Amino acid sequence: MIIDCHGHYTTAPAAHTQWRTAQLQAYDDGLTPPVYPTISDDEIRDSVRDSQVRLMDERGVDRTIFSPRASAMGHHLGGAAESAAWATHCNDLVHRVCTLFPDRFAGVCQLPQSPGVPIEESVAELRRCVEELGMVGCNLNPDPSGGHWAAPPLTDKSWYPFYEAMTELDVPAMVHVSASDNPVFHATGAHYLNADTTAFMQFLQADLFTDLPALRFVIPHGGGAVPYHWGRYRGLADMLDRPPIEQALLDNVFFDTCVYHQPGIDLLLDVVPTRNVLFGSEMVGAVRGVDPRTGHHFDDTRRYVDASASIDDDGRAAVFETNAHRVYPRLAAR
């Protein structure tokens, strides 16, 4: 089985995204938001059948770990009530996709985060999504301000109530920011990769996994700059009198293969231990075009893993399947 650990519902029905626009306009105008629209099962089927499902079939992907559209989480928009309502509707819609296509999708939830709102306010939605909707993980935004980095580091004690709930439920979090509210940072070209790199450095600097040894994070987009600068981080760990990366982080931190060229995948698989890499494509997501050098879509990442000389067949099996089951143990129940 080939499991894609990183998929977003980027093709949700138009009525869903139109409601979000109306909700935020009502917030700005001081009005009550409109009632959420009725979306039929047929609309949901149509929204994924000729996009995600078709591409999964064409590319040989069996199952996708599926979450709401990351760039649309918009935690910096509206207030806490608006974020909570939006997260609920997004998660319910993803759950319906997973119910209609149970063999193809497993859900991961969006959280109702807002700048300045304690993360423990998100615990109830995590529990609902895992215990009632059967979801297998969550997306955790380390920067709800949208590129202004007003939140404390992920290793700060203020995050611990949420981490304790993650541990109790035995679910991982993918570290995933949303849209950028800072014009300095392009969302997918800078803000996403900045966050991936920043999260890893925060983990390196603190004792989070000593305190919570069962906690698990997936750092997406190949880990940002981390694999390319692995020697820098090993050296910084030594300079900061921290334990070696392999000892301190690699039981808890994992990377996906959302890297869109062969040399990048080869580097990732050569530098990061195979047991810490999960197959992911972020399809249909940030980069949707065809690479003129290869004639294939940039986000057809299975081709790169298949072609890489950095791992053998056993390593490919781990990247494609067994690592995902280890990091997302609730997948087995599905």
- Residue 74 CA to residue 2 CA, distance in Å, equals 31
Q: Enumerate the active-site residues.
A: 282
Of the candidates 73, 85, 88, the one whose C-alpha atom is nearest the C-alpha of residue 126 is 88
Of the candidates 50, 54, 44, the one whose C-alpha atom is nearest the C-alpha of residue 14 is 44
**Nearest 5°: phi and psi at 184?**
-70, -30
DSSP 8-state code for residue 290:
B
DSSP 8-state code for residue 190:
I
User: Collapsing DSSP states into helix, strand and coil, what is residue 103?
Assistant: coil
Of the candidates 189, 209, 216, 200, the one whose C-alpha atom is nearest the C-alpha of residue 275 is 216
- Residue 218 CA to residue 249 CA, distance in Å, equals 12
Residues in the chain: 334
